[in-house]
């Protein structure tokens, strides 16, 4: 069974978390290449699962359009919102307080080498977690992420955005699960490039009508990750600083 190191980074600036992800990703890839090129006994594969929150930030994926950011540089500064163009898939999204942002750095050679299956598993982690709160998360064909179904006058509501990047079958980036997120920030972008009247963004707290702390949902997320990917969490003596 594969072993995964879990680290809760707390609230951290996006750039710092991205740099840290990149550092871990390089280390996992380097270990993989050493194992491939060495005749000696291979080192065990290394995997990480990082959870964090970010101060307000918009991130634009490599396939996204800058036109989907509806604020100028001056307006971003005035509102205290950072902006980064990054190397994940997908369009523009928002990260901020009240989200659980998850960054799996998995060597998929230890699980399965299928990027579509990987994304479906990320969605399934969220769907199973929502079910514990009595909510029916679902997928919509042609749209990545997790949604709640249209009900009466309420449209489809996106509760989790997903965007990933892989190199040598090692993953980075991941998901942003709106738990108690201030949804007003989504009004200044075209979220994930989706500008359709029958789709909007929501949060777990909004759907339940009560405040939910991001830390409350972390144990369920971790449990469903371990069940779906069939791994065990490894004790981690290191701390993120």
Write down the pLDDT at residue 196: 73
Top-confidence residue, 40 or 17:
17
Q: Find out whether 88 and 177 touch, Cβ atoms under 8 Å.
A: no
Write down the pLDDT at residue 237: 65
End-to-end Cα distance, the chain: 29
Write down the pLDDT at residue 239: 66
Write down the pLDDT at residue 241: 57
Across 18-37, average pLDDT? 92
- Please tell me which residue in 192, 201, 204, 226 is annotated as part of the active site: 192
pLDDT, the chain, mean: 92
Domain residue spans in the chain?
Answer: 2-233
Write down the pLDDT at residue 194: 76
- pLDDT over 90 for what percent of the chain? 75
Helix axes 214-229 and 115-131, enclosed angle (nearest 10):
130
Write down the pLDDT at residue 188: 92
Across 100-124, average pLDDT? 97
Top-confidence residue, 90 or 136:
136
Across 163-181, average pLDDT? 96
Write down the pLDDT at residue 90: 80
CA distances from 27 to 32, 180, 212, 237 (A): 9, 33, 35, 17
Across 176-202, average pLDDT? 89
Q: What six digits make up the tokens of 146?
A: 């997790």
Do strands 138-140 and 99-105 pair parallel, antiparallel, or not at all (unpaired)?
Answer: unpaired
Determine the Cα–Cα distance for residues 156 and 150; give it in Å rounded to an integer.
4
Per CATH, which fold does 2-233 belong to? BirA Bifunctional Protein; domain 2 (3.30.930)
Q: Find out whether 174 and 104 touch, Cβ atoms under 8 Å.
A: yes
Write down the pLDDT at residue 120: 97
Write down the pLDDT at residue 41: 75
Across 118-132, average pLDDT? 98
Task: Give this prediction's pTM.
Answer: 0.93
Across 193-214, average pLDDT? 91
Across 155-182, average pLDDT? 96
Across 181-206, average pLDDT? 88
Q: What six digits make up the tokens of 204?
A: 């777990």
b/e code 169-180 from CB counts within 10 Å (16+ = b): bbbbbbbbbbbb
Write down the pLDDT at residue 240: 62
**Which residues does residue 212 pair with via DSSP β-bridges, in sequence order?**
none
Q: Is 192 known to be catalytic?
A: yes
Q: pLDDT per residue over 145-165, tens digit each?
A: 999 999 888 899 999 999 999
């Amino acid at each position: 069974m594969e072993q995964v190191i879990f680290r809760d980074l707390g609230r951290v600036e996006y750039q710092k978390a991205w740099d840290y992800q990149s550092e871990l990703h390089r280390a996992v890839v380097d270990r993989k290449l050493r194992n491939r090129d060495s005749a000696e006994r291979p080192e065990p594969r290394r995997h990480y699962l990082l959870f964090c929150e970010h101060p307000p930030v918009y991130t634009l994926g490599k396939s996204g359009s800058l036109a989907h950011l509806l604020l100028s540089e001056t307006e971003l500064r005035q509102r205290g919102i950072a902006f980064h163009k990054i190397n994940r898939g997908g369009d523009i999204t928002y990260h901020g307080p009240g989200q659980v942002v998850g960054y799996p750095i998995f060597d998929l050679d230890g699980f399965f080498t299928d990027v579509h299956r990987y994304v479906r598993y990320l969605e399934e982690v969220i769907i199973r977690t929502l079910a514990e709160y009595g909510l029916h998360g679902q997928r919509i064909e042609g749209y990545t992420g997790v949604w709640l179904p249209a009900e009466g006058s309420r449209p489809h509501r996106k509760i989790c955005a997903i965007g990933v990047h892989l190199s040598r079958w090692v993953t980075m980036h991941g998901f942003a699960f709106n738990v108690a997120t201030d949804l007003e920030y989504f009004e200044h972008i075209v979220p994930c490039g989706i500008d359709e009247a029958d789709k909007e963004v929501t949060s777990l707290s909004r759907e339940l009508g009560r405040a939910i702390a991001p830390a409350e949902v972390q144990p369920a997320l971790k449990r469903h990750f371990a069940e779906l990917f069939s791994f065990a969490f490894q004790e981690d003596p290191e701390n993120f600083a």
